[in-house]
Chains A and B, each alone.
Chain A
Amino acid sequence: MKIDVSFSVPVPPQQAWPLLLDVPRIVPCLPGASLTADLGDNRYKGQATVKVGPVQLTFAGEAQIADIDPVAHTARVIAKGADAKGRGSASATADFALVAEGEGTLITVVTDLQLVGAVAQYGRAQGLIKEIASQIVEQFAANLRSDILARSQEGVAGSDPATAADQSSPQSASASATAAVAPTRELSAFALLWGVIKSLFSRKNQSGQ
């Protein structure tokens, strides 16, 4: 199943790029996801919980960032996870691309998702899975934007990350630690409410006109 999503962040590609590669920092921005181990060499172990309507699925597995091109600002994430109760597995290959958009960056993600085993029954609901994926991405983008804003307010963003790290005082370091978004258990109600607000302005709800 192919899933296309995109979102924007208010910093230029040269700044967005290192942020997105800072996996331990951005995984908490992804609703329902948590990092359990950094295996080095751009490989990570983690867990993701997703609600598909009334059903809650939890996958534990590995993700690897490959084909990193720091000039073109593209990368590929290869992830595989298995359901905790042995009901199946999911594997995904996600191609990321960052493109300048005004003063910010447009991030596009093209994902090829495969479900295997009992959990594959949800794969029949393709439209639904795509809607859930885009809601996850919207929440991710919102969290990431808050995170970027918090970091820029501390003067950490807006310069090369190495220098920024030198510049950060103990005070701003602890402030930035608290500003990092806490891992969410699953899609938060806020995220879904945001989805509602967005959908109020989408074509779908302009009924009868």
Chain B
Amino acid sequence: MKASAFAYHDPKTMQELNNLLGSLDNIRILAGGQSLMPMLNMRYAFPDHVIDINHIADLSGVAMTPAGLRIGAMTRQRIVREHPLVLEHAPVLAEALHWVGHVQTRSRGTIGGSLCHLDPAAEQPCIAALYDAVLHVSGPRGARDVAMRDWVLSYMTPNLEPDEALLGLTLPVWSGMQGHRVGHGFHEFARRHGDYAIVAAAALVSLDAAGVVRRASIALAGVDVRPVRLEGAEQALVGKGLDQSLIAEVSAMAASIEMMEDAHITPAYRGRLAQTMTKRALTDALNRATGGRNV
């Protein structure tokens, strides 16, 4: 199959992009193309306009800011996965990217593209939810920030007006407070490596010197149209010593949230996967936090 005809645009500036987005209808933005091109080739999507944003400067890059780790929307997944700042300040993102597609797709795919495409099983939105990331949006009315909690409006629909685009996101990193150690984990179940997750779980825990949980974050992908934070489980962890039995106890909570259903996977099975992936992610987080490294 080949893509049907469309008008191709390649703006060189954000201003040009905003103008195009404001004046045209039935558009898809082409970033890395790893999700859009299959849809075009299969004629699953048939936009009248394809706007290629690969020529707009200053949309990629990784930097530490006072607010956290800022990553430009057009930063290739390959770069994010290997970037020293990511490895140092948000290693769970690098770990999640291990599961994203394959070497060929990570060469072109972008973190911003994944955050705007919003496949329910995608790993990068899951990490953004894990960190309560802030997403930076730009449009003709100016710039605005959107909390990750408010980002997914519905199935594969980000909180973007028709004439807006994502510039990047900031992950408020978990710095080691005095004596505290942060551990992370990420586990995914998919039929084949590189497939979209059936369920994925990401975890961050911050332990004090006595091994008591001071802060916890657990996010699941693949269970709903948006990544789901296990807030009940997080609260159940805080103030307690983290060990395998507590991990088993809170992981069971993952099975009882309302799960989406599809033709292949029953909610009950998905729930069991959620429980197992959560348990593995928390176990890794515990091991990393008690391994003595400040991550």
Q: Which residues of chain A have a CB within 8 Å of any CB of chain B?
A: 51, 53-56, 58, 85, 87, 118, 121, 124, 127-128, 131-132, 135, 185, 189, 192-193, 195-196, 203-209
11 A–B contacts from the bound complex (CB under 8 Å): A53-B157, A56-B26, A58-B26, A85-B46, A131-B155, A195-B153, A207-B229, A208-B231, A208-B232, A208-B253, A208-B257
CB atoms of A196 and B43 under 8 A apart: no
Choose one: B47, B155, B159, B231; the contact of A132 (CB below 8 Å). B155
Q: Kindly list chain A residues whose C-beta atoms are within 8 Å of the C-beta of B157.
A: 51, 53, 192
CB atoms of A87 and B46 under 8 A apart: yes
Ranked nearest first, the 10 interchain pairs of A and B with the lowest CB-CB distance are A208-B232, A53-B156, A208-B230, A192-B153, A209-B232, A208-B253, A208-B233, A207-B257, A55-B45, A207-B228
**Which residues of chain B (119-164) have a CB below 8 Å from chain A?**
150, 153-157, 159, 161-162
Segment with Cβ contacts to A, from B166-174, B191-199, B258-266? B258-266
Q: Kindly list chain A residues whose C-beta atoms are within 8 Å of the C-beta of B262.
A: 127
Counting CB contacts under 8 A, is B224 at the interface? yes
Q: Kindly list chain B residues whose C-beta atoms are within 8 Å of the C-beta of A208.
A: 218, 230-234, 253-254, 256-257
CA distance A179 to B204 in the complex (A): 51
Q: Which residues of chain B have a CB within 8 Å of any CB of chain A?
A: 4, 25-26, 28, 36, 39, 43-47, 117, 150, 153-157, 159, 161-162, 218, 224-225, 228-234, 253-254, 256-258, 260-263
Q: Kindly list chain B residues whose C-beta atoms are within 8 Å of the C-beta of A205.
A: 228
CA distance A208 to B150 in the complex (A): 19
Q: Kindly list chain A residues whose C-beta atoms are within 8 Å of the C-beta of B253.
A: 208-209
Nearest-Cβ distance from residue B290 to partner chain A, whole angstroms: 24
A54-B117, A127-B262 given as contacts; is B154 within 8 A of A195 (CB)?
A: yes
CB atoms of A209 and B45 under 8 A apart: no
CB atoms of B25 and A185 under 8 A apart: yes
Nearest-Cβ distance from residue B157 to partner chain A, whole angstroms: 6
CA distance A209 to B236 in the complex (A): 10
Choose one: B231, B254, B258; the contact of A203 (CB below 8 Å). B258
CB atoms of B150 and A196 under 8 A apart: yes
CB atoms of B43 and A118 under 8 A apart: yes
CA distance A85 to B47 in the complex (A): 11
A204-B224, A207-B230 given as contacts; is B154 within 8 A of A131 (CB)?
A: yes
Residue of B nearest to A202 (CB): B258
CB atoms of A207 and B231 under 8 A apart: yes
Choose one: B39, B43, B232, B258; the contact of A54 (CB below 8 Å). B39
Q: Kindly list chain A residues whose C-beta atoms are within 8 Å of the C-beta of B254.
A: 208
Choose one: B25, B45, B153, B232; the contact of A196 (CB below 8 Å). B153
With A121-B44, A208-B233 already in contact, 7 other A-B pairs whose C-beta atoms are closer than 8 Å: A53-B156, A85-B46, A127-B261, A192-B159, A196-B154, A208-B218, A209-B232
Residue of A nearest to B117 (CB): A54
Q: Which of B153, B228, B262 has most A Cβ within 10 Å?
A: B153
Residue of B nearest to A200 (CB): B149
CB atoms of B230 and A54 under 8 A apart: no
Choose one: A85, A124, A135, A207; the contact of B154 (CB below 8 Å). A135
CB atoms of A54 and B228 under 8 A apart: no
Q: Kindly list chain B residues whose C-beta atoms are within 8 Å of the C-beta of A131.
A: 154-155, 225
Nearest-Cβ distance from residue B284 to partner chain A, whole angstroms: 19
Residue of B nearest to A194 (CB): B153
Q: Kindly list chain A residues whose C-beta atoms are within 8 Å of the C-beta of B155.
A: 53, 128, 131-132
